[in-house]
Structure 1
Amino acid sequence: MKVVKILNNNLVFAKDDAGREVIVKGLGIGFHANRGDTVDESRIGQIFYPQASQNLQQIQEFLLSIPAEYLNFVQDFVDEVKAREGVSFNSSIYLSLSDHLQGTLKRYREGISLQNVLLLDIQRLYKKEYTWGEQMLAEVAKAFGVQLPPDEAGFIALHFVNAEENQGGGDSYKIAAIVSDIVKTVRDYYSDLWFDENSLYYQRFLTHLKYFAQRYLHKELQANEDDGLFQLVSQQYRQAYGCVKLIFLMMEERYGYQMSKEEMMYLTIHIQTNAEHARRKDSQA
């Protein structure tokens, strides 16, 4: 890997052995280096490759605008999560999370705290990632002496979700919003019932909604219509199907999408199953 340009003592613009342009971060990696020198591999902390929506100029501007203390903190924390959990992340997380941390701490010092309106939905849909968010808040408190609210753990969780390999980048907030809209419709319809959010039935329901939202966002929804089975389910589970019709109207009005009979059928089954295992609010615990 050869140095193309020195950005500062800790950042260099380089070309790897395959001829790809990259930005390399490492403590002192640019100190006394010159154009054409071989990059000191022992000093490499992170290599940034441009993603589909980025170019190296954008990455360079990001890295130069974020204080090294934030970049180093995020790199150490993300690398620790990767090693401990055995997961892979797109390299964009180092930039997006560092930028988020910088903005969050700036707002905190200005007395501004943002409410995460999807916090409960993020906690339900992305439990693992939310736990990482909580862990990062604990580390932020130690490193920067700032106790951030739980809302921030939710925001951080979405950065992890979007950066996980094989995930549709940037979709997590939209997915959580769609799931939240559907869940609210169900809860309003069954206003006399308590749903056990820790039950297997409810978790399967949330998983179904999550992948429904993903397919909707990626235009991958398919309709293998079985009108006979649809008629059977809709007639047998009339109350649950009534709820699904409201969801159909909500999706049409809010997202401009008309659910297929197949989608409505599976949603009816999930809602019926959860309603059967729910508890009436006026019953004794």
Structure 2
Amino acid sequence: MLLRIKKVLNNNAVVVEEAGEEKIIMGLGIGFNKKKRQKVEEKKIEKVFIMDDKKEYNQFKEMLKTVPEEHISVAQEIIEYAQKKLDTKLNEHIHIALTDHLSFAIERLERNIEITNKLLNEIKVLYKKEYEIGLWAKDLIKKRLNVEIPDDEVGYIALHIHTATLDSGTINETMNITSMIQDMVEIVNDCLNVNIDEESLSYQRLVTHLKFALQRLTDGEAFHDMDDDVLNVIKEKYVESFKCAQEISKYLKEETGKEFPENELGYITLHIQKINRDKTS
């Protein structure tokens, strides 16, 4: 079917209408020196966007007119790579959220404004695949734009990608859970009077366990049972670590109004006890 341009957004993006449905078509030079009603060169078509959410579609359309084209191109490469590596289709909102975030971050770096990410260590552990994609994006941005993004920004890219996977909530929800886990790790540090080695296997196992425990609590899923005799042994043998687990549950209740069941505290205690042993070894 012959496609004619309804609106030129930039040199590489145009709006067309096909069978009464508006679409955004992207491709290198597809809008260069083009005007309304001119036909689209089909050989230049690289991507076609049809968003179910009309509000997001309009936001994306407006963004394509204001964000530097090279930023848009890089963001789309990252999204396509992420979908391939994760073998999943990302939520449509990623095209707006990541592009807008990335463009703002690049502008800040070009003005020598520092980017910091206090959740970086937790992100590396909790969203390992997404963080690896972020590292790939770091190389791409350097290659395409000659901008060196810090690992802190890699962490933010990972969060956006994770949030865009199906049923992963909003980026604010993801950051809230990650921030709570960071606070819980600090509680362990204070309880044991230790500075946990964030490269250690014990740290990674604790953080991962807390992530899934919080997810079960949020989703209303049942926690794993623990034999009463086993739980009593844990409470009696690892008094300091169990008290620390109780402090974590107390913090959780203050923050969310929910708390971990005692069985779950038993499992958390075992992870904390491993860190407790590490400090004396």
Q: TM-score w.r.t. structure 2 length? A: 0.79
Please give the alpha-carbon distance, in whole angstroms, between the structure 2 residues aligned to 1:80 and 1:224: 36
The partner residue of 1:184 within 178, 183, 186 is 186
SS in 1 for 2:148: coil
Distance 1:52 1:270 in 2: 44
Tell me, yes or no, if structure 1 residue 104 matches structure 2 residue 131: no
Is the 1:251–1:257 Cα contact (8 Å) retained in structure 2?
yes
1:239-285 CA-to-partner distances (Å, cap 9, x unmatched) read 22100111122112233333322332332233234434x132xx6xx
SS of residue in 2 equivalent to 1:258: coil
Pair 53,210 (structure 1): closer, same or farther in 2 beyond 3 Å = farther
Alignment of 1:130 with 2:131, yes or no, is yes
* Greater helix fraction, Structure 1 or Structure 2: 2
The 1:92–1:48 alpha-carbon spacing in structure 2 relative to 1, beyond 3 Å, is farther
Q: Which runs of 5+ in 2 are unaligned?
A: none
Q: CA deviation at 1:57?
A: 1.9
When structure 1 is superposed on structure 2, of 230-239 and 174-183 the one drifting more is 230-239
Give the structure 2 partner of residue 263 of structure 1. Answer: 264
Secondary structure, counterpart of 1:248 in structure 2:
helix
Q: Tell me, yes or no, if structure 1 residue 77 matches structure 2 residue 78.
A: yes
Deviation at 1:192, TM superposition (A): 4.4
SS at 1:6 equivalent: strand
Q: Deviations over 1:196-251 (max 9, x none)?
A: 7442x5433222111223344x4425468779365454334322210011112211
- 2:37 maps to which of 20, 34, 37: 34
Q: Equivalent residue of 2:6, what SS?
A: strand
Residue of structure 1 equivalent to 2:121: 120
- Of stretches 173-182 and 84-93 in structure 1, the one that deviates more from structure 2 is 84-93
8 A Cα contact 2:6 2:36, kept in partner: no
Q: Using the alignment, how far apart are the partners of 1:178 and 1:194 within structure 2?
A: 16
Aligned residues: 275
Q: Secondary structure at the match of 1:279?
A: helix
Q: CA deviation at 1:177?
A: 0.6
- Counterpart of 2:182 in structure 1: which amino acid? S
Alignment of structure 1 residues 16-31 onto 2, 5 Å: 22-29=23-30, 31=34
CA deviation after TM superposition for structure 1 residue 125, in Å: 1.9
Identity %: 30
Distance in 1 separating the partners of 2:196 and 2:106? 38
Distance in 1, Cα, partners of 2:95 & 2:249: 39
Equivalent position of 2:67 in the other structure: 66
Give me the whole-angstrom Cα distance separating, in 2, the residues matched to 1:54 and 1:214. 30
Contact kept in structure 1, 2:125 and 2:208, CA below 8 Å: no
> Contact 1:50–1:59 (CA<8 Å) still a contact in 2?
no
Question: 1:237-256 maps to which residues of 2 (within 5 A)?
Answer: 237-256=238-257
The correspondence of residues 129-208 of structure 1 with structure 2, limited to 5 A, is 129-170=130-171, 171-192=173-194, 197-199=199-201, 201-208=202-209
Using the TM superposition, give the Cα deviation of residue 64 of structure 1 relative to its aligned residue in structure 2, in angstroms. Answer: 2.1
Shift of 1:103: 0.7
SS at match of 2:109: helix
Could you tell me how far apart the structure 1 residues matched to 2:125 and 2:224 are?
30
Amino acid at match of 1:110: R
Q: 1:234 to 1:151 in 2, by over 3 A?
A: same
Whether the 8 Å CA contact 1:6–1:33 is kept in 2: the answer is: yes
Aligned CA distance change for structure 1 residues 210 and 21 (closer, same or farther; 3 Å): farther
